[in-house]
Structure 1
Amino acid sequence: MLDLVIEARQAALSPGFDVRRILPYRLRRMLGPFIFMDHAGPVTVAPAQLQSLDVLPHPHIGLSTVSYLFGGQVTHRDSLGVEQIIRPGEVNWMTAGSGIAHSERFEDPATLSGGALEMIQTWVALPEKDEEAAPAFANYQPEELPIFTDTGVWMRLIAGDAFGLRNNVKTHSPLFYLHVVLQAGARFGLPRGYPERGAYVAKGSVEVNGHAYSAGQLLVFTPGLDPVLVAREASTLMLLGGEPLGERFIWWNFVSSRRDRIDQAKADWQAGRIALPPNDNAEFVPLPQDKSRPAGSSPAPQALS
């Protein structure tokens, strides 16, 4: 029923800003095309401390970043000149392709309006044919993301195709990504038709086949089976998966099907060949020291997304 249970590990994005890192994991580098997943927050700080959470401009190649908030707000700026505030229920989808730099800033006291800052960040690897695509960015509003409700169940389709729901979020390979809220006792399954599927317990706890799983665990399910998740209490889940893309290398914020492309990206960032955001270019994250680790291992990513 379960191939693996991944326990989230603590990682630091910036001084004082810790996250729970779920993917990549040493026993499971990817889930479908998803190659990275962080759960940031909930974080509550005084307005004067907000800037200490900032993630400075940093580069990406070969992936799409996906930002989704439970609470608060974040300002995104990138080298395309985009400046976009993301709020709960929206999706920021940035395709790095051949190379992009962006920042995530917490500069408005409204960041914490309505409660704590809490965010899920994922990276979706690109098919080989799209790895060098032109960079692109899109923000999708809540009304563009279909919602399904039933007794004890609320669900939003963030991206992909699941349970007959679709939206206009542009993806590059077959996948599904869902935000699901269950009341105690509610039962829920997984989308069918995908070889790799998982459920991350963001809040609460669930039971699968008589075993209990709690917040901070990613459940990776055996292909071909149809598990039922039962909420032991009010719970929030992120369901994700899709078609695998094949081997990918990840180093820092770079993803590629080719090791030599990772090396090129390192050189490009160090030489200033990946442009900084024009409206946020006074500082940036330098390339981490490369201690001759293979491209399949990596310094901790700086990205919120």
Structure 2
Amino acid sequence: MSTQTKTPDEAYDQQCENPVGCKSIELLIEPRDRDLGGFSVRRLLPTIRRRMVGPWVFFDHLGPAEFAAGDGINVLPHPHINLATVTYLFEGEILHRDSLGSEQPIRPGDVNLMVAGRGITHSERERPEVTQSAHRLHGLQLWLALPEADEEIDPAFYHYPSADIPRVDVDGVPARVVMGSAYGASSPVKVFASTLYVEAYLQAGQSIRVPDAIERAVYVAEGELCASETVIPEHAMAVFTSAPEIELTATRESRIAIIGGESPGRRYMEWNFVSSRRERIEQAKAEWKEQTFPKVAGDEDDFIPMPE
């Protein structure tokens, strides 16, 4: 996806709280709604108080959005550098196209991994077969910062169908290991450093342990959790401390995403560009203004202008 704002440090100043007396939660982040061209998203990362969790520099919750016949997601071609995008849907479908020539519908449970590397352009729309009738869209899109050694690698696109993503039973809780390793299972999705991404669905009263990782957080897409007697409400993200054996208990039926991993170090971010070097972002801005980025195959005419 594309962010519509140029300076995220100022734009993403959402409400953050430090839970008093909680040894397991460092920060609670409440989202802000952002318009993404016809529908809104809840944006959790980055914030002024927390730029990253492990390698994850950007976290969007899409929907659930209701579209009438003839409407749908329509994100025009836009560029990225030095990062990878990870798209995972609960409902609906998105048609991904990019400047490598990829054209791939992503459906619930699939994982789309787009590695921007030295530069890529992509669009996110919907097929006519989807938009011809009323439909819903619901999912998550995250960006992860590539390690410095991999920031300028060749761009690449990987699609993993739902059947390839490991499903595990954690004391009766169904979970999927989207990226990395957890609960005795390892995902086939490519990673560049220590990375954690787990989706789980809890019934009221069920509990799940947070996997070990250098940095960790949980997002409540639906429902409500409790950790060490601290409530994590729906649509909030809790960033954890290094406390061991953190357990999450659902106070009602809940869909959650646990993320984390190793931080690659400081990253600069402006618009859709993330890099360890400010000068690289300035270069990418100039290239997009001059329209020297590669074009999206089959979607060459439209583009999102660089915000001024």
- Both structures adopt the same fold (TM-score exceeding 0.5): yes
Q: Look up the SS of the partner of 2:252 in the other structure.
A: coil
| Aligned CA distance change for structure 1 residues 246 and 153 (closer, same or farther; 3 Å) | same
CA distance in structure 1 between the partners assigned to 2:124 and 2:135 by the alignment: 19
Unaligned runs of 5+ in 2: 1-23
RMSD value over aligned CA atoms?
A: 1.5
CA distance in structure 2 between the partners assigned to 1:150 and 1:25 by the alignment: 32
Instruction: Report the counterpart of residue 294 of structure 1 in structure 2.
Output: none
CA distance in structure 2 between the partners assigned to 1:29 and 1:113 by the alignment: 39
Letter in 1 for 2:181: D
Contact 1:73–1:106 (Cα < 8 Å) also in 2: yes
Deviations 1:161-180 (A, max 9, x none): 22221122111110110111
Q: Look up the SS of the partner of 1:267 in the other structure.
A: helix
| Aligned CA distance change for structure 1 residues 124 and 112 (closer, same or farther; 3 Å) | farther
CA distance in structure 2 between the partners assigned to 1:189 and 1:40 by the alignment: 26
Matched, 1:7 2:30: yes
Contact 2:69–2:134 (Cα < 8 Å) also in 1: no
Q: Look up the SS of the partner of 1:204 in the other structure.
A: strand
Instruction: Report the counterpart of residue 18 of structure 1 in structure 2.
Output: 40
Deviations 1:89-127 (A, max 9, x none): 000000000000000002334369896210200001000
Deviations 1:9-54 (A, max 9, x none): 111111x31100010011000000000000011111111122xx30
Matched, 1:66 2:89: no
- 1:278 CA drift (Å): 1.8
CA distance in structure 1 between the partners assigned to 2:32 and 2:65 by the alignment: 17
Instruction: Report the counterpart of residue 300 of structure 1 in structure 2.
Output: none
Paired residue for 2:307, among 266, 288, 305? 288
Contact 2:67–2:134 (Cα < 8 Å) also in 1: no
CA distance in structure 2 between the partners assigned to 1:243 and 1:278 by the alignment: 34
Matches within 5 A, 1:35-184: 35-50=57-72, 53-110=73-130, 116-184=136-204
| Aligned CA distance change for structure 1 residues 221 and 153 (closer, same or farther; 3 Å) | same
Tell me the matched-pair count.
Answer: 285
Deviations 1:142-181 (A, max 9, x none): 1211001245411011111222211221111101101110
Contact 2:68–2:135 (Cα < 8 Å) also in 1: no
Letter in 2 for 1:249: Y
| Aligned CA distance change for structure 1 residues 145 and 41 (closer, same or farther; 3 Å) | same
Instruction: Report the counterpart of residue 267 of structure 2 in structure 1.
Output: 248
Deviations 1:56-106 (A, max 9, x none): 000000000000000000000000000000000000000000000000002
Contact 1:175–1:241 (Cα < 8 Å) also in 2: yes
Paired residue for 1:28, among 28, 50, 63? 50
CA distance in structure 1 between the partners assigned to 2:254 and 2:42 by the alignment: 17
CA distance in structure 1 between the partners assigned to 2:259 and 2:191 by the alignment: 13
Instruction: Report the counterpart of residue 219 of structure 1 in structure 2.
Output: 238
Deviations 1:170-223 (A, max 9, x none): 11110110111011110111111x220000000000111112221110010001
Unaligned runs of 5+ in 1: 290-305
Contact 1:72–1:111 (Cα < 8 Å) also in 2: no
Instruction: Report the counterpart of residue 206 of structure 1 in structure 2.
Output: 225
What is the TM-score of this pair, normalised by structure 1?
Answer: 0.90
What is the TM-score of this pair, normalised by structure 2?
Answer: 0.90
Instruction: Report the counterpart of residue 275 of structure 1 in structure 2.
Output: 294
Question: After TM superposition, what 4+ stretches of structure 1 lie above 3 angstroms from structure 2?
Answer: 111-115
Identity %: 45
Contact 1:47–1:109 (Cα < 8 Å) also in 2: no
CA distance in structure 1 between the partners assigned to 2:204 and 2:301 by the alignment: 49
Letter in 2 for 1:2: I
Letter in 1 for 2:206: A
Q: Look up the SS of the partner of 1:265 in the other structure.
A: helix
Q: Look up the SS of the partner of 1:263 in the other structure.
A: helix
Contact 1:74–1:111 (Cα < 8 Å) also in 2: no
Q: Look up the SS of the partner of 1:42 in the other structure.
A: strand
CA distance in structure 1 between the partners assigned to 2:134 and 2:291 by the alignment: 39
CA distance in structure 2 between the partners assigned to 1:27 and 1:44 by the alignment: 32
Instruction: Report the counterpart of residue 299 of structure 1 in structure 2.
Output: none
